[in-house]
Amino acid sequence: MQKITTGFWSPQRKILKFVCCGALCLALFGCFKGSEQVGKGKLQLKKVSFSSLPGWSKENFAEIIPVFSKNCAGLKEYGKKENATTQINISPTEYEKICERFAKQKPNNSAKMKKFIEKEFAVYQISDGDNTQGKFTSYYEAEIKASFEKSAKYKYPVYGKPKDLVEINLRDFGKDLPDSRLVGRVENGRFVPYYKRNDIENKGIDAPIIMWGDDLVDIHFMQIQGSAVAHMDDGSEIRIGYADNNGHKFKGIGSILTEKKLIKPGEASMPKIREWLRKNPEKASKIMAENERFVFQRLSDADGPVGAFGVSLTAGRSLAVDNGYIPLGAMMWLDTKDPDKRNLQKIVFAQDIGGAIKGVVRGDYFWGHGEEALKEAGRMNSAGGYYIFVPQNTEIKAK
């Protein structure tokens, strides 16, 4: 999977007010009671029983307890942010009540957590029209080797957010305009697109350099994933998070290589792509430049990569979604296959978004950190479906 916008949400105020393209999870849920099916057009919701969920009886609900707690904290914090649009709306009050009861009851084992979920939630299958199946890929937290000092070995800059980068939202200038994020810079009094990857890497920009890396391929993969752990030359480890991007369209390296017939379509996994780039250094920089999207980074003290929802992601329990359809913070049931075609059926939380994650039934599963996670994440490209958990006795609608 070619992913670019891990941690896309940014809390800072911009020169012009920026409405995050993420949908506010807790303004999610509002206008349905009792019906078995909701929705018009593409997105459809159908109420189902817990027992009908594939693999429900095999779930380890004890693993959900700390993630649910973290998600509740995220819901409370994310609820303070500005709202955007998502096609599933849920009243925040009901979700807040569930989190309060969770904190009071403190379910501490698998059986109690399972009972809590089944009492507090109803579950709905999500479909794109009549199609319940979609595409599920996976991503991971990358690694780079770096130093705070530039040298012959550490010569590639890792840029922070540029000083001249400006973000606007057209909706701020009129309610009849699209709710659309634009990124650029001001040149001679005009708002123009920001520099493309090739210009940034070859000419430099007015931006802080947070560290220097030793490998341009690793830095590019960090940008695709959105975050990384930097192994510093003094032996320390520092987590790098997503700060922003240059606003240009993302194009996956795998698709570029396959289009040019430099790699076979069936071999376009992340490990294979990285191997090709390393073996062809002279061509690699030109190939990577065709991905015009450039991601700017920031130093992070979180215990994991921070997704668009604002909480650190949990390996095997966080999912990136298209939040034009799925509200951030939603608890979901995933039903797909892992890279070795084994069942991957479990509770996950919609805590991130991605530039390539578009569609009603479309997810990007967070595998974890490091080389082992890369091996798994880089091979995953599976069909599957998912379900959303909705507070009991609440109203829900698909716009």
Residue-range domains of the chain with CATH: 25-252+291-398 (2.40.40.10)
Question: Is pLDDT at 12 greater than 60 in this prediction?
Answer: no
**pLDDT at residue 397 in the model:** 62
In the chain, % of residues over pLDDT 90 = 63
Residue with the larger pLDDT of the pair 302 and 34? 302
Question: Is pLDDT at 28 greater than 60 in this prediction?
Answer: no
CA 5 to CA 320: how far, in whole Å?
10
**Cβ atoms of residues 336 and 36 within 8 Å:** no
Question: Is pLDDT at 215 greater than 80 in this prediction?
Answer: yes
**pLDDT at residue 268 in the model:** 79
pTM (predicted TM-score): 0.75
268-285 pLDDT per residue, tens? 788 889 899 999 998 999
In the chain, % of residues over pLDDT 70 = 87
Convert the chain into a string of H (helix), E (strand) and C (coil).
CCCCCCCCCCCCCCCCCCCCCCCCHHHCECCCCCCCEECCCCEEEEEECHHHCCCHHHCCHHHHHHHHHHHHHHHHHHCCCCCCCCCEEECHHHHHHHHHHHHHHCCCCHHHHHHHHHHHEEEEEEEECCECCEEEEEEEEEEEEEECCCCCCCCEEEECCCCCCEEEEHHHHCCCCCCCEEEEEEECCEEEECCCHHHHHHHCCCCCEEEEECCHHHHHHHHHHCCEEEEECCCCEEEEEEEEECCCCCCCHHHHHHHCCCCCHHHCCHHHHHHHHHHCHHHHHHHHHCCCCCEEEEEECCCCCECCCCCECCCCCEEEECCCCCCCCCEEEEEEECCCCCEEEEEEEEEECCCCCCCCCEEEEEEEEHHHHHHHHCCCEEEEEEEEEEECCCCEEEC
pLDDT band of residue 393 (cuts 50, 70, 90) is confident
Considering the chain, what is the average pLDDT of its residues? 85
324-344 pLDDT per residue, tens? 899 999 999 999 999 999 999
Question: Is pLDDT at 259 greater than 80 in this prediction?
Answer: yes
CA 258 to CA 268: how far, in whole Å?
7
